[in-house]
Amino acid sequence: MTIVSTIRHNRIISVVLLTLLATAVPLAAGAQGTTVPASTTWTSLKGDVFGQKAVEPANGIITIEAPKRAEDAALVPIDLHFKTDATSGRIKTVTLIVDENPSPVAAVFKFGKDAGVTHLATRLRVNAYSYVRAIAETEDGKLHMTETFVKASGGCSAPALKNQDEAVASLGKMKLRVFPSSAPGSEPMTRATEMQLMIRHPNNSGLQMDQITRYYIPAHFIQGLTVSQGDRLIMSMEGGISISEDPNFRFEFDAKPGEDVKVEAADTEGKKFQNEWPLQSSSL
Amino acid sequence: MIHPTRRSVLKTGAFFTCCCLGQFSLARAQSAGRVALPVTEFEDGVFAFSGIPEMMSANNRGEICNVGFIVGEEAVAVVDSGGSVAEGRALIASIRAVSDKPIRYLINTHMHPDHIFGNAAFEDTGATVVGHQSLPRALASRGDYYLRSFRESLGASLMADVKIIPPTKLIAGEETLDLGKRQLTLKAWKPAHTDNDLTVFDQQSQALFTGDLCFIDHLPTMDGSLRGWMEQLETLKTINAKLAVPGHGPVPSKWPEALEVERRYFETLARDIRKSIADGVPMAEAVKTAAQSERPNWRLFDEYNERNATAAFAELEWE
Ligand SMILES: [Zn+2]
């Protein structure tokens, strides 16, 4: 699996890791303020992630939904909808950023050419009152950004694991759910299928200090993920520590009945997980 | 729930009943210069303080959960140290008001700050800290977060002395502690409220300290496994106790009736969440409606229900 394939992507990983190493401690400790921060974080972040490229307002090409106040900062549901037109072309990648997190780039999603992904939902850790933003890159090379503000705190440094033995025992276990078509009566050939992919993984942030040894518990998270059907790439993800424990992705795409759905994932310890599910026409 | 059946003696001077907030604030008002925590001796040698059903704050000194102690012929065992070192010290003062026997054990029923932040007060007592075998691990991964995140709500001065002190005597399965002609049965549970829940049963009085496996009044909080908690209610119920000190709620409460209110809440929550999962309702939507019918029955419902529902959803969607 080659998830990290382009120079730009390598650069993002560096940003993720460097920021993590350089600022993890002070940010985790000090980022519990209660005021809405200015977008200064984004201003300095933008260049690191996208260089000199212009980032335009999304104008509906991509929309983001998140709770205004997170009940559980380690499990903040984020909903993305895509609506492209002929001028911009389809969305090639989406970068999900949590400005105030120690490692701001939560994930970079890449979509297959004919995958037809129109909706993607996942769950994030949010460490402080923060903007959560999604930047879509369309085929014409333009960047389109939408953002929302989430009040949450401690999502990265809070150990989310509620049942540690279970977490270890079920590492890498996957579950795929297929939902009935959301558009009843749609043409069989263009019918979108909604799926939910769940992976058991602690997705440790590495920001939790062992109170006895005073060492940080090492980060251990899902780094790369690909979902494909037959030979077709549906989507791939480069992930960071801001994706919640037990990574969870719900998405809508153009499914081809009868072809297997295949998922491959790799974590920071080099462990690889994979699974395949037959997709019967009847389940579409 | 019910009132003390035999005696309700307040060892610290003022009279006190457990179910009235007004009296709590009175006790609090008098407590400015006070040393001892107002405890009730509801059975011979079994004492408990009834926590205030609020969030931990500087104002309530973190005294939100029930804590207590049991006096044997030779020694004393303390069950939970409270939500601040100040509370821990006040608890020691309550013990010293009724007994000069050594404090042999400080039992922590689980990892939560309202139950363990007072541990440092017992450092000089020579007490052995006792906990579930998984408690040290839980404190290793959460302790630092607890210390940082409670600074805001409890304030710097209350937090100054707080230390994370893990147990050195670990309980796996069941074990008996002896206080001199008085035996306590400690039982370590599988993941329920947390993955390190411990109960303390006094064989002589048949009083049970449930830790946070039992909540009354104060909405239960989910930090372990909803399924594990529901399943183990069956075993918990069979403990042959007369009276219980719940982790939160009236002291003492009738056993096993004390478990009924939370059972109903868990069943409602699990039923609502399971239905949402089956219907394909996304988490963000499902948690808004789950268990809303239980709202009138609890304090702190709005503070914790959606969070519980989120945890329940994340757990039950793997079924
Ligand atoms: Zn608790």
DSSP string, chain B: ----SS--EETTSS---SS-HHHHHHHHHGGGG--S---EEEETTEEEE---SS---TTTTT--S-EEEEE-SS-EEEE---SSHHHHHHHHHHHHHH--S-EEEEE--SS-HHHHTTGGGGGGGTPEEEEETTHHHHHHHHHHHHHHHHHHHH-HHHHTT------SEEE-SEEEEESSS-EEEEEEPSSSSSSS-EEEEETTTTEEEEEEEEESSBPP--SS-HHHHHHHHHHHHTS--SEEEEEESSSSEETTGGGHHHHHHHHHHHHHHHHHHHTT--HHHHHHHTTGGGGGG-BSHHHHHHHHHHHHHHHHTT-
Contact list in A for residue B285 (CB cut-off 8 A) is: none
CA proximity to A73, closest of A172, A183, A143, A155: A155
Q: Which of residues 37-66 of B touch A (CB under 8 A)?
A: none
Pairing of strands B174-178, B67-71: unpaired
Do A79 and B282 lie within an 8 Å CB cutoff? yes
Beta-carbon contacts of B152 under 8 Å, excluding residues fewer than 6 positions away, are: A32
- What ipTM describes this predicted complex? 0.81
* Secondary structure (H, E, C), chain A: CCCCCCHHHHHHHHHHHHHHHHHHHHHHHHCCCCCCCCCHHHHHHHHHHHCCCCEEECCCCEEEECCCECCCCCCEEEEEEECCCCCCCCEEEEEEEECCCCCCEEEEEEECCCCCCCEEEEEECCCCCEEEEEEEEECCCCEEEEEEEEECCCCCCCCCCCCHHHHHHCCCCEEEEEECCCCCCCCHHHCEEEEEEEECCCCECCCCECCCCCCECCCECEEEEEEEECCEEEEEEEECCCECCCCEEEEEEECCCCCCEEEEEEECCCCEEEEEECCCHHHC
Do A162 and B141 lie within an 8 Å CB cutoff? no
Residue range of the domain that includes B58: 23-257
B141 near A CB under 8 A = yes
Q: Which residues of A have a CB under 8 Å from any CB of B?
A: 28-29, 32, 65, 67, 71-72, 75, 77, 79, 121, 123, 153-154, 157-159, 161-166, 175, 177, 179-180, 194, 198, 200, 208-213, 217, 246, 250
Do A123 and B283 lie within an 8 Å CB cutoff? yes
- Please indicate, yes or no, if residue B317 is contained in any of the structural domains: no
What Rg, from alpha-carbon coordinates, does chain B have? 19
Q: What local confidence, expressed as pLDDT, does residue A25 receive?
A: 35
Q: What local confidence, expressed as pLDDT, does residue A152 receive?
A: 85
Of B141, B311, B314, the CB nearest to A159: B141
* Secondary structure (H, E, C), A212-228: CCCCECCCECEEEEEEE
Do A32 and B144 lie within an 8 Å CB cutoff? no
Q: Which chain A residue has its CA at the smallest distance from B278's CA?
A: A179
What Rg, from alpha-carbon coordinates, does chain A have? 18
Domain count, chain B: 1
Between CA A129 and CA A118 the distance in angstroms is 28
Q: How far is the CA of B95 from the centre of ligand 1 (A)?
A: 23
Of A154, A163, A177, the CB nearest to B225: A163
- Please indicate, yes or no, if residue B202 is contained in any of the structural domains: yes
Do B318 and A198 lie within an 8 Å CB cutoff? yes
Contact list in B for residue A208 (CB cut-off 8 A) is: 141-142, 144-145
| Chain A / chain B CB contacts < 8 angstroms | 99
Residue B253: Cβ-neighbour burial (10 angstroms; 0-12, 13-18, 19+):
buried
As a whole number of angstroms, the longest Cα–Cα distance in chain A is 61
Where residue B20 falls (left for φ over 0; alpha for ψ -120 to 50; beta otherwise) is beta
- Please indicate, yes or no, if residue B312 is contained in any of the structural domains: no
CA proximity to A106, closest of A21, A185, A172, A49: A49
Contact list in A for residue B282 (CB cut-off 8 A) is: 77, 79, 121, 250
CA proximity to A197, closest of A110, A122, A119: A122
Q: How far is the CA of A121 from the centre of ligand 1 (A)?
A: 31
Side-chain half-sphere CA neighbours of B98 within 13 A? 29
Beta-carbon contacts of B126 under 8 Å, excluding residues fewer than 6 positions away, are: B102, B103
B283 near A CB under 8 A = yes
Between CA B218 and CA B224 the distance in angstroms is 17
B227 near A CB under 8 A = no
Do B195 and A165 lie within an 8 Å CB cutoff? yes
Q: How far is the CA of A204 from the centre of ligand 1 (A)?
A: 23
Q: How far is the alpha carbon of B189 from chain A, nearest alpha carbon, in Å?
A: 12
Whether the model pTM is above 0.95:
no
CA A172 distance to own-chain centroid: 17
- Please indicate, yes or no, if residue B286 is contained in any of the structural domains: no
Beta-carbon contacts of A82 under 8 Å, excluding residues fewer than 6 positions away, are: A61, A62, A91, A94, A117, A118, A119, A120, A136
Fold topology of A3-283: Immunoglobulin-like (2.60.40)
Residue type, B227: R
CA proximity to B247, closest of B224, B273, B271: B224
Q: How far is the CA of A251 from the centre of ligand 1 (A)?
A: 36
B211 near A CB under 8 A = no
Q: Which residue has the tokens 């309700």?
A: B8
Side-chain half-sphere CA neighbours of B265 within 13 A? 29
C-beta of residue A164 within 8 angstroms of C-beta of residue A115: no
Between CA B142 and CA B132 the distance in angstroms is 15
Of B144, B195, B315, the CB nearest to A164: B195
Q: What local confidence, expressed as pLDDT, does residue A281 receive?
A: 54
Determine the Cα angle at A66 with ends A49 and B273, to 5°: 135
Q: Which residues of chain A have pLDDT under 70?
A: 1-38, 157-160, 180-192, 208-212, 214, 280-284
Do A246 and B284 lie within an 8 Å CB cutoff? no
Q: How far is the alpha carbon of A143 from chain B, nearest alpha carbon, in Å?
A: 28
Please give the order of strands across the beta sheet that includes A91-98. A55-57, A143-150, A130-138, A91-98, A105-111, A232-239, A222-229, A261-267, A272-277
- The ranges assigned to domains in chain A are 3-283
Contact list in A for residue B310 (CB cut-off 8 A) is: 71-72, 75
CA proximity to A247, closest of A191, A180, A281, A199: A199
Positive or negative, the CA dihedral A12, A15, A21, A23 is: negative
Q: What local confidence, expressed as pLDDT, does residue A87 receive?
A: 80
Contact list in A for residue B228 (CB cut-off 8 A) is: 163
Whether omega before B252 lies within 30 degrees of 0, making that bond cis, reads yes
Q: Residue-wise pLDDT tens for chain B (319 aa)?
A: 333 333 333 333 333 333 333 333 334 334 434 579 999 999 999 999 999 999 999 999 999 999 999 999 999 999 999 999 999 999 999 999 999 999 999 999 999 999 999 999 999 999 999 999 999 989 988 888 899 889 989 999 999 999 999 999 999 999 999 999 999 999 999 999 999 999 999 999 999 999 999 999 999 999 999 999 999 999 999 999 999 999 999 999 999 999 999 999 999 999 999 999 999 999 999 999 999 999 999 999 999 999 999 999 999 999 9
CATH of the domain at B81: 3.60.15.10
Determine the Cα angle at B193 with ends B192 and B199, to 5°: 85
- Please indicate, yes or no, if residue B308 is contained in any of the structural domains: no
